[in-house]
Amino acid sequence: MSTRGAAVLTAPGHGDEDDRAVPSRIESLSRIERIAAGPGWKSAAVDVAGRLFTWGAAQFEGRLDIPNGFGYAMDQTTECQPTPKRVDALSQDRVVGVAFGDSFTLAMTDDGTVFSFGCSRYGELGHGSLNRELPRQIEALLQMGQRFVGVAAGERHALALTKEGGLYGWGDRDANSHGRQESTPCRVAARIGQRIKLVDAQAGASCAVTEKSELFT
In b/e form, how buried is each residue of 6-15, taking b as 16+ CB within 10 angstroms? eebeebbbbe
DSSP per position, 179-209? SS-EEEEEEPPTTS-S-EEEEEEETTEEEEE
pTM attached to this predicted model: 0.88
The number of residues making up the chain comes to 217
Regarding beta strands 167-171 and 157-162, do their DSSP bridges make them parallel or antiparallel, or are they unpaired? antiparallel
What whole-number distance in Å separates Cα of residue 108 and Cα of residue 93? 9
Amino acid type, 160: A
Domain limits for position 140: 32-216
Nearest to 203 by CA among 154, 153, 152: 154
Residue 62 domain-assigned (yes or no): yes
Structural domain tally of the chain? 1
Nearest to 149 by CA among 159, 139, 157: 159
pLDDT in the model for residue 66: 75
pLDDT in the model for residue 205: 92
Residue 95 domain-assigned (yes or no): yes
Task: Convert the pLDDT of each residue in 96-118 to its tens digit.
Answer: 999 999 889 999 999 999 999 99
What whole-number distance in Å separates Cα of residue 23 and Cα of residue 111? 34
Residue 116 domain-assigned (yes or no): yes
Helix ranges, 27-171 (H): 139-142
Residue 25 domain-assigned (yes or no): no
pLDDT in the model for residue 65: 66
Residue 198 domain-assigned (yes or no): yes
Residue 19 domain-assigned (yes or no): no
Q: Residue 42: is it exposed, middle or buried by C-beta count within 10 angstroms (0-12/13-18/19+)? A: buried
Segments in the chain below pLDDT 70: 1-11, 60-65, 173-181, 190-191
Residue 17 domain-assigned (yes or no): no
Residue 210 domain-assigned (yes or no): yes
CATH code of the domain containing 112:
2.130.10.30
Task: Convert the pLDDT of each residue in 2-36 to its tens digit.
Answer: 444 444 445 678 888 788 889 999 999 999 999 99
